[in-house]
Structure 1
Amino acid sequence: MNDLAQNATPPTRTTCPYCGVGCGVLASPMPDGSVSIAGDPDHPANLGRLCSKGAALGETVGLEERLLHPAIEGERVSWDAALTAVAERFSAAVRDHGPDAVAFYCSGQLLTEDYYVANKLMKGFIGSANIDTNSRLCMSSSVAGHVRAFGADHVPVSYEDMEAADLVVLVGSNLAWCHPVLYQRLVAAKAARPAMRVVVIDPRRSATCDIADLHLALAADGDVPLFLGLLAHLHRAGATDPAFLDAHTTGFGAALGEALALTACDLEAATGLSAPDLLAFFDLVAQTPRTVTLWSQGANQSASGTDKVNAIVNCHLATGRIGKPGAGPFSITGQPNAMGGREVGGLANMLAAHMAIENPAHREIVRTFWNAPSLSEKPGLKAVDLFRAVADGRIKALWIMGTNPVVSMPDADAIKAALAACPFVVVSEASATADTLAFAHVALPAAAWGEKNGTVTNSERRISRQRPFLDMPGEARPDWWILSAVARRMGFRNAFAYHTPAEIFAEHAALTAFRNEAATSRDLDLGALAGLDAAAYEALAPLRWPLSARAAAPARSFADGRFFHADGRARLVPVAPPKRDAASGFTLNTGRVRDHWHTMTRTGLSPRLSAHIAEPFLEIHPEDAAALGLADADLARLSSPHGEATLRCLVTDRGRRGAVFAPMHWTAAYAPSGRVDALVEPRTDPVSGQPALKASRVSVERYPAAWYGFLVSTRKPEPLSVAGYHALARTRGGWRAEIAGATRLADPAAVAAALLGAEPTEPGLLSYDDAATGSHRFALVRDGRLDGALWLSPQPVAVSRAFAAEKLGATLTALDRARLLAGRGGADGPDKGAIVCSCMNIGANDILAAMAKGAVSVEAVAAQTRAGTNCGSCRSEIRALLARAAEPRETVQLA
């Protein structure tokens, strides 16, 4: 055992701050200031597993780029001054313009206790329901679909059900990259029971297809007709459950009528799928009672998202495949506490404790419990409409908490304009580089993961504790503390006299049980936790609700066929295929990559997480690329009526012709022209208000690059204004950057000196000019060590990125310098190639070398290289390399 391990403090059991899987984490601060991270083997969500992002959490908890002090108009002030300013401006806006002149925009990164206080303040005491959240962009269509079908926003399936199913249907879910630990549980279950089948329904052949027995490359927004076709087939095949339908549901006739109205030709045209593929899917579902249908953003982020959810749920209700082991409809949330936010009413159309704001009886329950003087009586503005109200002046004061809408909202440039015009903007934030912070009149430093204390709820309704293991730096404070302090200054002292998050959680739990006596009165009941004291709250182990104080929780949701509509029956909701978009151009699908999260304010701090994919990119089909004169690594310019973006081309047949894919993570801090959501039209689902982030129309053309460059540097390279395009990323020892420009460089040496922070005549600035190719190469060596290097070329730069980055700060021999200018290592310093396994820093060439030594399986590659042995998220890429090597007449060579 090393000295650090011996001297480390005992690990703190906490919960990962990334996706909705809700993995348990063991965090151990070390004497050298680092933090050791491991999966919690006792947490039921992950049983010790972590994904690449979770495993790298220790690299993201430093104070670099932290907001540490309150500020007004950019000037540091005291907390009292900042809080007083917020309270006075919000109070004045309410007094002069009414309560609907103010709004909160929150985040699934908030803890349940933070969310509870925000919702209570806005809906109960300010008197407006203008509080929405970035969870609106994630799962609000699932919420609406659940409420329509079940009478409550209730997820009836567990992770164990997914593992026990004989068929798992993944709809619009790249589980391998977006929920990697849950994906690994599915992989293990399939390995243990080879008869299990997996179907992936996704326009792209994503990494998740690695375990698919059937991949349906669905046309954009083809989900509703696909599941209408399935419902009709289940009926014709005799796979429905008439007894269940008769005893426990209503609406089957109308729902089936819509399904039967769809002809076979209509179905093929609307889904883009062949008749044999459709029949294979339909037969598989009809013949497999133990079916779990799991969906995520690919279904939700649509103008017909709610109908998609109900089309899926209809099939489960029609067959009685709900409330049973290994069967049911399963919505997987994208954020760590999207579910907790739903529980406390964090959405504009909800009340706390899963109560409905339109329901007078529910309003009376909440009004009485809170002793609220002016409880809102109508839904507030959902996210897209909320920012429209900011833009047109209806909202005079806006408080944004823990989210970055300038990057993540559709029509993101319009969000920038709205915030710039808003009379008063407050931003509670941990990151000093979040794009939205630039628009804050008042900036409030919030506690970050590792410092926060509270609870989160994962996708299977499991509540877990986030516990602090680091002190709050500077003047950072918890969100609940900030909100409570403002509420007291607004005159609501007694209702917000909180001292600890344990008090808030106990109040939240008590509200869920208040006047909730009937067994099917309201689904959310945490009454058994209402009496928790501080010690019990601190020791709270992960547990699933409902947790009633009156009776033991049912063994399984809906096992008794009772739902939460007043008559106890579920509803099959009739849905119709959406109208097809006849607009020209490409269909833009947005999403995530494996190793980054949301807008990179956390993952962008980790060199390890930028090693896999370091710049924004555009997936485009080879035939479309050829028609546009685009090749791999070219730059493409995308445009729509709302904005523009410039992205690196990845030519691949993973997607359909006429469709392109781009990740949504990159911000102005890392890639100013890579803000993809600036292109997205602000079209929303009419029921849920969720934006259609998966199907905007864009045009694509080649960016007219006159030169390309690649840079590594121990210092952050500035200025980058010389480049029309740039994408920054951290790397071990410094920074890397991709750059390009549309105007020929008159003096490449001067540009190199500026970017590398050198004097043009500095002796350590080495250069090589290749007249034949028009390329230029520079290296800056100081005290014998590499301080930076730059490669410029008329074509995309062919340099080993991993090799160049690993040389930063290294002592260079004369041979090293020659190799560096060539951009490749020699036999004694082989090129890793593109990083495949971020956890173990294993590149494609490392894997190819293992294959050359006889590794013919993922397991054999893992044994030689350790690639894929930690989180396993890279195993599909390893398998793809193996498959390419096995193709006839293809010779695999080391780069």
Structure 2
Amino acid sequence: MTSIPPMTPAKSQSATEQLVQTTCPYCGVGCGVDVLQTGSMKGRLSDLKGSPEHPANFGRLCIKGTHLLETLDPAKRLTTPVVFGQPASWESATDIVAARLSSIIEQHGPDAIGLYGSGQLLTEDYYVANKLMKGFIGTANIDTNSRLCMSSAVVAHKRAFGEDIVPCDYEDLEHTDLLILVGSNAAWTHPVLYQRIERAKLRNPAMKVVVIDPRHTDSSTIADLHIALRAGSDSALYCGLLHYLAVNNGLDNAFIEASTEGFDRALDAAKDWTLATVAEACDVPEKQLRTLYSWFAQLPRVISFFSMGINQSTTGVDKGNAIINCHLASGKIGREGCGPFSITGQPNAMGGREVGGLSNMLAAHMDIDNPQHRETVSAFWQAPNLASQPGLKAVEMFQAAADGKLKCLWIMATNPVASMPNRALIEKALSNCELVIVSETAATNDTLKFADIVLPATGWSEKNGTVTNSERRISRQRGLLDPHGMARHDWQIISMVACAMGFEKAFAYQHPQQIFSEHCALTAADNNGSRALDLGALAGLSLTQYDNLRPQQWPLAEAHRSGSERLFADGRFYTPNGKARFIAITPRAPEQQTSSQYPFVLNTGRLRDQWHTMTRTGNAPRLLKHTDRPWLSIHPRDAQRLGITDGALVTLKAACSDNIDVILPARPDSKQRCGELFAPFHWSATWGSHCKVGALLNGANDALSGQPELKHGAVSAEVFNAAAYGLIYGHTNDVDRLKTACLYWLDTPTDEALCTQVADTLTPMALLNKLLAQLPQDSQWSTLQSGGQCTLVATRKERLVLTIMLSATPVALPVDWLESLYSSDSALTEAQMNGLLNQQPDDAYMLGKIVCSCFEVRENTIKHAIAEGTNSVNALGKKLQCGTNCGSCKTELASLIAACDQAEASAPQVVNIADTKPVTEEN
């Protein structure tokens, strides 16, 4: 086989301190990050901050980005290739992978192989993976978890514009008259962009902000109008808007005539969607719709900022096109502050799309079903076996593996057992698959136990390449540390396997600069202005120029036919005739409908401080201080009807869950619609016994995009009849041994130890007696039973080593209180021992949950300051420091101010959704 040597460092070896600029690996905003390296080349990292000059964030970072360095725990990394349970050298592992792939191709054909990648891959990784699969193995069965994120928007863009193009950039958010957040809780999912929006509204108070979301989220804190529509009814709302524009002089007829086609068909399909019809379909008052529609028609600049609430649907493509239709009809596109703005969830979902990282794409925005495009790519790659038809999309890929048709799955940088819907099917697929290869950084996740071959890959801080953000801006992600252990870059791993399969000439890469240059050259091949993605001007960068590459937004001015960065400013699109296409939309209900057996709609989503399945953010205990466990948000009336109290455990079931019960603590919330539930998806079997939320969604997906419906499941909910609730805190090994004796457990790592929430059908005393046999050796322990409480405190040399706190009612004790006692070098005082035994924290820890994770400012402290007259976010920052670092908590601070303002004289025009049908007054 041909080995790939280490990359040549571009930085000086003699520098003792230098600033390295890289890119955040979380959401699609693509923030620039400055990290100080101290010591020799790739030495100690410190002082991480946002890059002030990066145009995506101008120095801002959210809470996750701010604490990136805290996630780099080498003890939780894969370090060595493992082949069928045995450690192996890279040469041996590579040869085995190559031989097994070649054998499967020989016996079953190339379509028996599938590769499932990730938006965490860099563009160079994606490019090499796509080239190997589609060009040399000869199958298009390469898909990524971006399928769960952006694929519906991709298809909507291609249907309307002829190419997968996001027509807006971040500056547009600061220059619009009306910003509509639809299916987006940007305050939590894209907080840096949300802060730009907040600032824009402060600069221009006349700017209108509308939030369209079934839930009242933190994004509503700056809203002039919140429309809490029925889940899944977004298409009806935008079809109604198109009809309204037509009958209320809101059309740009000159633009429609000169630059579009299909308008009459789209308008005819929308003709029945009157205000009354839309109000009934969306379950909102006509008055709210009239306000939104009139603003859209009358204000000159409008942005529809949409994300997963639109995309993750069985009709996500149609929803995207319904939004685009309204911007085309009103001519509010191709101008500053205007357009449909699809915001990606993953850091490099856009880069993956550029290189063909989805199974229905080719490469460089070329189409796999286009003979001319296939000829261009085949000639450029000198590909002997270029795929000629689309491959399996994500859900299809795992179904094929479950059915025995797919013999090999290579999974890279993602955790599909936890992140894909229909967990039972995914587990069956990986169990049935003849060969499962996993390239991964984390030593533990839900998917690894199914792997036959495990390949240690580099992660953020080690990876070196490029990513593209939501505004089409390419940025460098630079290596800060040497690869950990024997880890290799994903492009290196793929290239090594390709060379071992006999494709040495096409995969003899020595540095990601070579891959980037090849990718850029391919975008220019036979382009001649036919595709906006033309990076040919970057194809000749030297190694030094590549290492020093500044953020670049495409289309590049030298390649764009209008000579302008403003897409569609010339009124021409990338369709054969240059005209944008209207799409006739017939709104349809979500596929996963409720029933008498499964009466609740389940919506899933992200939290402010966590990312995906927490293989990175879960390493930083600080990021668990705001929310340390998953929960189930339920309207108080639903909770009362079912006998569910705050903190009580609730069992959720779905038709597809295959005897997998999901159990979550309840959080009654009047901001939730009746009949609808919300649960975050981050936690999985790695974190708890019953928190596999993905098991409740059946994998129903959009027929055009293949994107699964993750916002509208159908579930039942009932109280889990626990007789004992509690927690166990202590050394990880001790807690791990004890927790498995409990029926329910959920981990929360801390800086010093492990805290596990537990519950059981046994009484507190009976459960404690069951746990006594598992106590750590050589410790002294004391117990106290009082009323419904039962506590054990184990000490060694009078220092706390373990505590078990059980109660007949839900236990909500501050974990950092226990952490402070556990980490102390001093013996427990009598008062501290009594506090533990009586489950009574010190007063300092009874100030509510942490709102500001950066400075650990608690909710009651903030409320007290507000009550004393500190009634603005800025004033709270000056007094308590909250909100003055990353700013992620600012929206929650604003919500607390609004909640504490009894007069509500200055409250924004936000819907009161205490009732199922919220009402708001028009301006």
Smaller-chain TM-score range? Answer: over 0.9
Report if aligned partners of 2:793, 2:837 keep a CA contact under 8 Å in 1: yes
Task: Tell me by how many angstroms 1:732 deviates.
Answer: 2.6
1:556 to 566, 575, 588: 566
Report if aligned partners of 1:708, 1:792 keep a CA contact under 8 Å in 2: yes
Report if aligned partners of 1:819, 1:826 keep a CA contact under 8 Å in 2: yes
Report if aligned partners of 2:557, 2:565 keep a CA contact under 8 Å in 1: no
Rate the CA distance shift 1:786–1:850 in 2: closer, same or farther, 3 A. Answer: farther
Task: Tell me by how many angstroms 1:872 deviates.
Answer: 1.7
2:796 to 764, 782, 787: 782
Instruction: Please tell me the root mean square deviation across aligned C-alpha atoms, in Å.
Output: 1.8
2:544 to 532, 535, 559: 535
The question of 1:55 aligning with 2:66 is answered yes
**Which residue does the alignment assign to 2:618?**
604
Other structure's SS at 1:64 match: helix
- The TM-score normalised by the length of structure 1 is 0.95
**Which residue does the alignment assign to 2:4?**
none
The question of 1:809 aligning with 2:827 is answered no
Report if aligned partners of 1:106, 1:134 keep a CA contact under 8 Å in 2: yes
Deviations 1:728-752 (A, max 9, x none): 1112322222111123355454455
Other structure's SS at 1:354 match: coil
Deviations 1:439-460 (A, max 9, x none): 1110000001000000000000
Rate the CA distance shift 1:756–1:832 in 2: closer, same or farther, 3 A. Answer: farther
2:587 to 561, 568, 577: 577
Other structure's SS at 2:364 match: helix
**Which residue does the alignment assign to 1:128?**
139
The question of 1:704 aligning with 2:721 is answered yes
1:767 to 783, 804, 813: 783
The question of 1:13 aligning with 2:21 is answered yes
Other structure's SS at 1:435 match: coil
Q: What CA distance in whole angstroms lies between the structure 1 residues aligned with 2:338 and 2:589?
A: 31
**Which residue does the alignment assign to 2:860?**
845
**Which residue does the alignment assign to 1:726?**
745
Report if aligned partners of 2:867, 2:900 keep a CA contact under 8 Å in 1: no
Task: Tell me by how many angstroms 1:365 deviates.
Answer: 0.6
Task: Tell me by how many angstroms 1:421 deviates.
Answer: 0.9
Q: For structure 1, which segment, 303-312 or 486-495, has the greater mean C-alpha deviation from structure 2 after superposition?
A: 486-495
2:575 to 556, 565, 571: 565
Deviations 1:387-423 (A, max 9, x none): 1001101111110000000001010121011101100
Report if aligned partners of 1:428, 1:444 keep a CA contact under 8 Å in 2: yes
Task: Tell me by how many angstroms 1:354 deviates.
Answer: 0.5
Amino acid corresponding to residue 704 of structure 2 in structure 1:
V
Task: Tell me by how many angstroms 1:836 deviates.
Answer: 0.9
Q: Percent identity?
A: 49
Task: Tell me by how many angstroms 1:654 deviates.
Answer: 1.4
Deviations 1:169-216 (A, max 9, x none): 011000000001001111111111111111011110011111111111
Amino acid corresponding to residue 785 of structure 2 in structure 1:
D
Other structure's SS at 2:782 match: strand
Rate the CA distance shift 1:751–1:326 in 2: closer, same or farther, 3 A. Answer: same
Report if aligned partners of 2:554, 2:565 keep a CA contact under 8 Å in 1: no
Report if aligned partners of 1:155, 1:331 keep a CA contact under 8 Å in 2: yes
The question of 1:675 aligning with 2:683 is answered no
Task: Tell me by how many angstroms 1:711 deviates.
Answer: 2.6
Other structure's SS at 1:660 match: strand
Amino acid corresponding to residue 741 of structure 1 in structure 2:
D
Task: Tell me by how many angstroms 1:795 deviates.
Answer: 0.5
Amino acid corresponding to residue 718 of structure 1 in structure 2:
D
Rate the CA distance shift 1:36–1:824 in 2: closer, same or farther, 3 A. Answer: farther
Task: Tell me by how many angstroms 1:315 deviates.
Answer: 0.3
For 1:416-435, list aligned pairs within 5 A: 416-435=427-446
Q: What CA distance in whole angstroms lies between the structure 2 residues aligned with 1:125 and 1:566?
A: 30
Amino acid corresponding to residue 736 of structure 2 in structure 1:
E
Report if aligned partners of 2:724, 2:767 keep a CA contact under 8 Å in 1: no
Q: How many residues align?
A: 875
Rate the CA distance shift 1:834–1:756 in 2: closer, same or farther, 3 A. Answer: farther
**Which residue does the alignment assign to 2:880?**
865
- The TM-score normalised by the length of structure 2 is 0.93
**Which residue does the alignment assign to 1:146?**
157
**Which residue does the alignment assign to 1:215?**
226
Q: What CA distance in whole angstroms lies between the structure 1 residues aligned with 2:762 and 2:842?
A: 34
Q: What CA distance in whole angstroms lies between the structure 2 residues aligned with 1:636 and 1:35?
A: 43
Other structure's SS at 2:549 match: coil
Task: Tell me by how many angstroms 1:858 deviates.
Answer: 2.0
Amino acid corresponding to residue 797 of structure 2 in structure 1:
D
Task: Tell me by how many angstroms 1:806 deviates.
Answer: 3.0
Amino acid corresponding to residue 671 of structure 1 in structure 2:
G
Task: Tell me by how many angstroms 1:813 deviates.
Answer: 2.1
Amino acid corresponding to residue 677 of structure 1 in structure 2:
G
Task: Tell me by how many angstroms 1:129 deviates.
Answer: 0.4
Report if aligned partners of 1:156, 1:323 keep a CA contact under 8 Å in 2: yes
Q: For structure 1, which segment, 36-45 or 797-806, has the greater mean C-alpha deviation from structure 2 after superposition?
A: 797-806
**Which residue does the alignment assign to 1:878?**
893
Other structure's SS at 1:672 match: coil
Other structure's SS at 2:325 match: helix
Other structure's SS at 1:316 match: helix
Other structure's SS at 2:603 match: strand
Task: Tell me by how many angstroms 1:830 deviates.
Answer: 4.8
1:834 to 841, 849, 858: 849
Structure 1, unmatched stretches of 5+, are 1-6, 890-895
Q: What CA distance in whole angstroms lies between the structure 1 residues aligned with 2:360 and 2:144?
A: 11
Q: What CA distance in whole angstroms lies between the structure 1 residues aligned with 2:903 and 2:639?
A: 26
Other structure's SS at 2:74 match: coil
Q: What CA distance in whole angstroms lies between the structure 1 residues aligned with 2:554 and 2:882?
A: 38
**Which residue does the alignment assign to 1:43?**
54
**Which residue does the alignment assign to 2:504?**
493
Report if aligned partners of 2:764, 2:789 keep a CA contact under 8 Å in 1: no
1:744 to 744, 749, 763: 763
Structure 2, unmatched stretches of 5+, are 1-14, 905-923
Rate the CA distance shift 1:826–1:65 in 2: closer, same or farther, 3 A. Answer: closer
Task: Tell me by how many angstroms 1:491 deviates.
Answer: 1.2
Amino acid corresponding to residue 583 of structure 1 in structure 2:
S
**Which residue does the alignment assign to 1:3?**
none
**Which residue does the alignment assign to 2:246?**
235
Task: Tell me by how many angstroms 1:289 deviates.
Answer: 1.7
**Which residue does the alignment assign to 2:608?**
594
The question of 1:279 aligning with 2:297 is answered no
Report if aligned partners of 1:616, 1:671 keep a CA contact under 8 Å in 2: no
**Which residue does the alignment assign to 2:185?**
174
**Which residue does the alignment assign to 1:544?**
553
1:649 to 666, 683, 695: 666
Task: Tell me by how many angstroms 1:825 deviates.
Answer: 4.2
Q: What CA distance in whole angstroms lies between the structure 1 residues aligned with 2:615 and 2:426?
A: 19
Q: What CA distance in whole angstroms lies between the structure 2 residues aligned with 1:749 and 1:589?
A: 36
**Which residue does the alignment assign to 1:65?**
76
Task: Tell me by how many angstroms 1:756 deviates.
Answer: 5.9
Report if aligned partners of 1:832, 1:842 keep a CA contact under 8 Å in 2: no
Amino acid corresponding to residue 606 of structure 1 in structure 2:
A
Rate the CA distance shift 1:103–1:293 in 2: closer, same or farther, 3 A. Answer: same
Q: What CA distance in whole angstroms lies between the structure 2 residues aligned with 1:193 and 1:64?
A: 49
**Which residue does the alignment assign to 1:624?**
638
**Which residue does the alignment assign to 2:320?**
309
Task: Tell me by how many angstroms 1:839 deviates.
Answer: 1.4
**Which residue does the alignment assign to 1:822?**
838
For 1:409-420, list aligned pairs within 5 A: 409-420=420-431
Amino acid corresponding to residue 863 of structure 1 in structure 2:
K
The question of 1:297 aligning with 2:308 is answered yes
Q: What CA distance in whole angstroms lies between the structure 1 residues aligned with 2:842 and 2:437?
A: 54
Other structure's SS at 1:488 match: helix
Task: Tell me by how many angstroms 1:41 deviates.
Answer: 0.7
Task: Tell me by how many angstroms 1:264 deviates.
Answer: 3.9
